Chains A and B, each alone.
Chain A
Amino acid sequence: MLEIRGLTKRYGAVTALDRASFTARRGRLVGFLGPNGAGKTTTMRCVFGLAIPDEGDVRWDGAAIDSKVRLRFGYMPEQRGLYPRMRVADQLAYFGQHHGLSGREARAKGMAWLERFGLADRAKAKLEDLSHGNQQRVQLATALVHDPELLVLDEPFSGLDPIGIATMSEVLRERAAAGVGVVFSSHQLDLVEEVCEDVVIISAGRVVAEGGIDELKAASGRRHLEVEVEVAGSGGAWLTSQNHHAVLEQSGDRVKVLVDEDVDLDAVLAAARAAGEVKRFSFEPPRLSELFMEAVTAPQPVRHEGGR
């Protein structure tokens, strides 16, 4: 389990992290979300000792992280980078060895990943001669070559085509299923909703939401109510006159509004029936993207363990 405990990091007058805390369990895919500049990259750098927090610490499986523990981690920074003129296989072997593998082991495991990504025939090619997508695959292989216990990936899906996205999510799911801790940041919230079990939302250096996606949705207190009633002329006017927070969508006979969790559904349904023939009636939790918007714009944390 990865524990981020009360991290604070200041760069001059800028506070990049403000007592940020969260945990990421092994075997769960954790999406690490937040607007640009919220502190995601700084948090990841703190995990790898690339940034030293002013306060707080990071623990793995209950123990403080030192350079030895870090060898069992895999990192894919947001700013991708490998040696452009180095051969792909040599590159994987090099990073594998830095993570403690023997030269032979590192080479074998590197080749295995290249085969997995369909790049075995490019093993002897220089990195710069590979296409952008293939360079991304090599970058992922670099983070995976030593079978890490914890994978931390900064924007792993950015710049990938649909096939690349499919491969990436497949590999991440598989790693998580093998008991590895997987934390990745992304701005593609629909993708995160589909792939991840847990999310951590960070805003202005503070963790503003944390937990399982389903639980967060259930706890949100807001619901989407979508109703389609065949009623000539008046459209969705009957529904928007009911108690609601906002009209999310409205087109023809169909209308979608944001309501409280404890809204009296029977009353709404009765009103709908009174208006006309009900074609559709759905009551759903909000999408992750809405939870995200709510969390990063809310004045108070949705759930904040670091505690102010």
Chain B
Amino acid sequence: MRSWRAVRLVAMREILERGRSRGYLLSLVFTLFLLLAGFVLPQFLLADRATRLALVEPVPAGLQAAVETTATAYELDLVISTVADRAAAEAALGASTIDAALAVPADLSGPGELIVQEQAGPTLQAVTSAAVVSLRAADAAELLTPPAVTVLAPPTEEDMTAIIFANAGIILMFIGIFSYGTWVLTGVVEEKQSRVVEVVLSTVRPRDLLMGKVIGIGLLALAQIVVLVAAGIAAAQLSGRLTLPPTTLGAVVQLFVWFILGFALYSTAMGFLGALASRVDEASNASMPVTMTATACYLVSILVVTSEPSGVVARVMTFFPPAAPMVVPLRVALGAIEPWEVVLSIALMLVSIWVLFVIGARVYAGAVLQMGSRIRIRDAWRART
């Protein structure tokens, strides 16, 4: 028998008290800022600047058109101007008003030269040489046509989005578990340290208190992630770095599902381990097993699963609940998972959350009223109160 009213009251308190705390709002603003910076800054820093090419007069007929055509073929962004003579070109190069100058005899009697200040980019070289050669060998243009490129399985935008979401999801998962899982952890220890827990437990059952805490803080975490994902999608749309295919909704829903599962598992563990500590400074020690596991699973997902999504490691980790929230979304995004694997993984996840909660609630109940030195799990389990 569980008192949902008590669970709801506890969860509401967590949401109201923590939701309006400066820490929560600041972390929301800060993460939002980082995210937007991640999208917007590269626009300025990494934007491909057009290459400024000056044609030295006299310019052979058709050269500009030939350069423009080949530049388009090579996807090179070119701004073409003309300069009076070679000296003017060198002066312009020295003043950095142009990046390169192309001087070709007007009668095409020679191949001409490409003049740069320090270095000529390979694409620019290829574009200019192809343009000059095709102009000079106009008769043999047919012979100069390069082989056509055929891509058998071009990446679709759906794939790209899914991979981006999976990667972002793993990072969010990791951050969420650490920051909000730590809230559950310290929340439990603070209640114990301030002794308020004895007042609370005179009406609320320990497992209802633990559950309310996990749910309340989990909802706050989810709210933050919803805001972040929404902001991320909006920023991506506005900056034009990502076009959203219709599968976006599915990817987002999947991300949330795995976040909820992962958070429930990890924060329950954090919560009852927190009860073993008596002071906040002992808490991080008590939660060491959880943070180590989470870090290991994160690294394995990033390093191993990404490169070999169908490998043995990836398959095994799929059914290892602490790793599943990070491994499964990644494998789904990479298209390297069978539907039954997803279903089984979720089922295993739900079962282990339940088992962990039952064990955790008993350990929590046994430990949360005991003060003094750190309590061992076995003693807390046996305390039975």
Contacts and interface: CB of A to CB of B under 8 A. Distances in A.
Interface of A: 45, 48-52, 67, 70-71, 73, 75-77, 79-86, 90, 94-95, 97-99, 142
Given A67-B205, A83-B194, A85-B17, A95 B199 contact: yes
Nearest to A51: B385
B28 to A, nearest CB: 19
A97 B9 contact: yes
A79 B198 contact: yes
Nearest to A154: B198
**Dominant secondary structure at the A interface:** loop
Nearest to B193: A81
Contacts of A48: 201-202
Contacts of A76: 199
B202 A79 contact: no
A89 B385 CA distance: 31
Contacts of B198: 50, 75, 77, 79, 81
Contacts of B9: 94, 97-98
Contacts of A99: 203
B203 A77 contact: no
Interface of B: 3, 6, 9, 13, 16-17, 21, 191, 194-205, 369, 371, 384-385
A78 to B, nearest CB: 9
Contacts of A79: 195, 198, 371
A98 B208 CA distance: 12
Contacts of B384: 52
B376 to A, nearest CB: 13
B303 to A, nearest CB: 41
13 contacts: A45-B385, A50-B385, A70-B202, A77-B195, A77-B202, A81-B195, A81-B198, A83-B17, A83-B191, A85-B17, A94-B9, A95-B203, A98-B9
B114 to A, nearest CB: 69
Contacts of B199: 75-77, 81-82, 95, 142
B195 A50 contact: no
Q: Which 5 A-B pairs have the closest CB atoms?
A: A81-B195, A81-B196, A79-B195, A75-B202, A48-B202
Contacts of B202: 48-50, 70, 73, 75, 77
Given A52-B384, A83-B196, 9 more contacts: A67-B3, A81-B199, A82-B194, A85-B17, A85-B21, A86-B17, A95-B199, A98-B200, A99-B203
Contacts of A77: 195, 198-199, 202
A262 to B, nearest CB: 48
B17 A82 contact: no
Nearest to A95: B199
A98 B194 contact: no
Contacts of A75: 198-199, 202
A82 B3 contact: no
A98 B203 contact: yes
B1 to A, nearest CB: 8
B195 A80 contact: yes
Contacts of A45: 369, 385
Given A77-B195, A81-B197, A86-B17, A71 B203 contact: yes
Nearest to A139: B199
B379 to A, nearest CB: 9
A45 B368 CA distance: 13
Given A52-B384, A80-B195, A94 B13 contact: yes
Nearest to A81: B195
A85 B18 CA distance: 10
B203 A70 contact: yes
Nearest to A68: B3
B148 to A, nearest CB: 69
A131 to B, nearest CB: 17
Q: Most B CB atoms within 10 A — which of A45, A51, A81?
A: A81
Contacts of B6: 98
Nearest to B201: A50
A46 to B, nearest CB: 10
Nearest to A128: B194
A300 to B, nearest CB: 32
A80 B195 CA distance: 6
A77 B198 CA distance: 7
A71 B384 CA distance: 22
